[in-house]
């Protein structure tokens, strides 16, 4: 496919009904919310000892959160791009990363993760006992007619559900109501969260992503696999074709606000701070291949790069590691769109 071409869908369309955005809809205080497990369609196994992943959701949304927990803590680099970033903490060392729906209100889930970790430390608050949590959110209200958002109770539940070596994927956790391909929202399709893991000798790379983008999801053959689905024609179209047709039109639809792709990359490679930051930047930039367009003014994309500092990198430099990790990231994007 060339940019601007039309692609007949190979996957069954999964259109999201746009919200009416009516006032006085139900929110957290109006419902007897109970955190539920959020298993998705399965798990991606990974071999990174000491890394745990948990999910939880409110079915009434539906909306949810995903927690990546490293009890020993992990050095972290944060790369935030686009015009609408929702981020808390953003620390260079974390014991947990919390991804959530609910836009700015969903940042409360990360506070719940902090509460749970404090309780697990028996309320010890010495400087070296503090548990560090960063959080980031997607705007998922576009696909539902309520104001339910992940809160502290849901964050705690996701952490309590965490298991070592398994990443839940599909329409679960923070990706429960994620969508992609929003030139106009009526063409958006549900995505979710995806993950991929690869080992290259002793070097290990896990990438997980929640795709809630303006852009469509594109595979390695250039085919659009999710988003911008034109029901009347039965095709998914590259946004470039639609944007080109809008030039000079005073009645062209306004850009759809409220989008974000959240990504966590975990490796066991010991890297200096500068190289850890560059690893995240290179991989985040590479994700443009699988999400088009990406990092727009209406996106708030965040990538957390974490290292467990277990092995040294030999044979290739960090550029080579990032090149390999970029392919893992593309696999995770495609997994989110399945």
CB of 335 within 8 A of CB of 44? yes
Q: Distance between CA 163 and CA 193 in Å, rounded?
A: 17
Instruction: Please write down the long-range contacts of 237-240, taking CB distance under 8 Å and 24 or more positions apart.
Output: 237/6, 237/7, 238/1, 238/3, 238/4, 238/5, 238/6, 238/7, 238/292, 239/181, 239/183, 239/214, 239/215, 239/292, 239/293, 240/3, 240/4, 240/292
**In 3D, which of 173, 174, 53 has the Cα closest to residue 103?**
174
Active site residue 260: yes
- Which of the following is catalytic: 63, 260, 261, 308? 260
The residue assigned the tokens 């952490």 is: 159
Which of helix, strand or coil describes residue 72? strand
Q: What does DSSP assign to residue 104?
A: G
Q: Distance between CA 100 and CA 156 in Å, rounded?
A: 12
Q: Distance between CA 52 and CA 57 in Å, rounded?
A: 17
Q: Please give the distance of CA 279 from its chain centroid, rounded to a whole number.
A: 18
Tell me: cis bond preceding 103? Omega within 30 of 0 counts. no
Q: Provide the 10 A C-beta neighbour count for residue 101.
A: 35
Q: Distance between CA 288 and CA 279 in Å, rounded?
A: 15
> What are the tokens at 154?
């849901």
- The catalytic site residues sit at 260
């Amino acid at each position: 496919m060339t940019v601007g071409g039309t692609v007949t869908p190979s996957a069954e369309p999964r259109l999201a009904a746009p919200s009416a955005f009516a006032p006085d809809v139900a929110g957290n205080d109006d419902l007897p919310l109970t955190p539920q497990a959020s298993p998705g369609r399965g798990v991606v196994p990974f071999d990174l000892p000491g890394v745990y992943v948990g999910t939880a959701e409110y079915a009434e949304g539906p909306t949810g959160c995903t927690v990546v927990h490293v009890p020993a803590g992990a050095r972290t680099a944060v790369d935030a791009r686009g015009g609408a970033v929702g981020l808390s903490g953003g620390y260079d060392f974390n014991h947990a990363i919390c991804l959530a729906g609910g836009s700015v209100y969903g940042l409360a889930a990360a506070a719940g993760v902090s509460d749970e970790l404090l309780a697990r430390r028996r309320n010890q608050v010495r400087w070296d006992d503090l548990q560090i949590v960063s959080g980031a959110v997607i705007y998922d209200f576009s696909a539902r007619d309520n104001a339910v958002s992940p809160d502290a109770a849901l964050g705690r539940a996701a952490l309590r559900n965490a298991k070592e070596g398994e990443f839940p994927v599909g329409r679960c956790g923070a990706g429960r109501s994620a969508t992609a391909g929003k030139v106009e929202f009526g063409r958006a399709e549900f995505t979710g969260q995806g993950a991929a893991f690869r080992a290259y000798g002793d070097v290990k790379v896990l990438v997980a992503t929640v795709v809630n983008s303006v852009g469509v999801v594109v595979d390695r053959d250039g085919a659009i696999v999710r988003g911008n689905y034109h029901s009347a024609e039965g095709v998914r179209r590259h946004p470039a074709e639609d944007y080109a047709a809008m030039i000079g039109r005073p009645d062209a639809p306004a850009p759809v606000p409220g989008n974000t792709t959240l990504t966590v990359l975990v490796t066991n490679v010991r890297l200096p701070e500068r190289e850890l930051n560059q690893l995240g930047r290179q991989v985040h930039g590479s994700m443009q291949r699988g999400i088009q367009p990406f990092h727009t003014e209406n996106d708030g994309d965040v990538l957390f790069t974490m290292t467990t500092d277990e092995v040294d990198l030999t044979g290739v430099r960090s550029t080579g590691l990032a090149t390999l990790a970029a392919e893992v990231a593309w696999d995770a994007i495609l997994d989110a769109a399945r």
